[in-house]
Amino acid sequence: MRIVLIGPPGAGKGTQAERLVERYNLAHLSTGDMLRAARDAQTEVGRKADPYMSQGQLVPDEIILAIVAERLQTPDCQRGYLLDGFPRTMAQAEALDRLLAEQNTPLHAVLELQVPEEVLFERLAGRGRTDDQPEVIRQRLASYRRQTEPLLAYYAKARLLETIDGVGAVDDIFKRVEAVLDRFAA
């Protein structure tokens, strides 16, 4: 199974992603985690990405596409994967389509975790990450609306979009995710 998980910051992508990869034995490809690891290790990618991340802005597409293309080559992606936090721009989505078309490995589904903005703010404020300061949160939500939301129409048109209500208990939300993915897992 090749799945994309989309949702605004604070939608619970990380939590649902952890369960999902375990339940369906998928490789977990989180560009946010990759970038945080690169930043901590002070690699060139990490140094370039850091100023964008700390301001809540998206890291330039060419940096992201390079790390994703490299990660998709690793053997553990053969069993299937979950892309978590990627693609986040139309350019990334189109580049992903080209990459997957070349390898003849199309996506099975794009899951959107849908959560109203006031709930997002509450959740993010309680999380305590360095990019969870109120001003940075506002910036990250604005980036999501401007750059990532257009992907929903794009994937709906491709008949890949599955919207999941992301409000409620973690277990209940995961049941909704399972109800969708069990169709592809057979």
- Pick the binder of ligand AMP from 85, 96, 144, 177 (CB under 6 A): 85
Q: How far is the CB of 104 from ligand AMP (least distance, A)?
A: 23
CB closer to ligand AMP, 86 vs 174 = 86
Closest CA to 181 of 25, 11, 15, 8: 25
Contact call for residues 106 and 100 (beta carbons, < 8 A): yes
Q: Judged by CB under 6 A, does residue 58 bind ligand AMP? A: yes
> How distant, in Å, are the alpha carbons of 63, 67, 184 from that of 107?
22, 19, 11
Q: How far is the CB of 64 from ligand AMP (least distance, A)?
A: 4
Q: Which stretch binds ligand AMP (CB under 6 A): 40-48, 58-66, 104-112, 117-125?
A: 58-66
Q: Judged by CB under 6 A, does residue 31 bind ligand AMP? A: yes
- Pick the binder of ligand AMP from 4, 11, 29, 59 (CB under 6 A): 59
Beta bridge partners of 107: none
- Pick the binder of ligand AMP from 140, 161, 164, 166 (CB under 6 A): 140
Nearest-CB residue to ligand AMP? 32
- Pick the binder of ligand AMP from 39, 52, 90, 178 (CB under 6 A): 52
Q: How far is the CB of 68 from ligand AMP (least distance, A)?
A: 8
Q: Which residues bind ligand AMP (CB under 6 A)?
A: 9, 31-32, 35, 52-53, 56-59, 64, 85-86, 88, 92, 131, 140
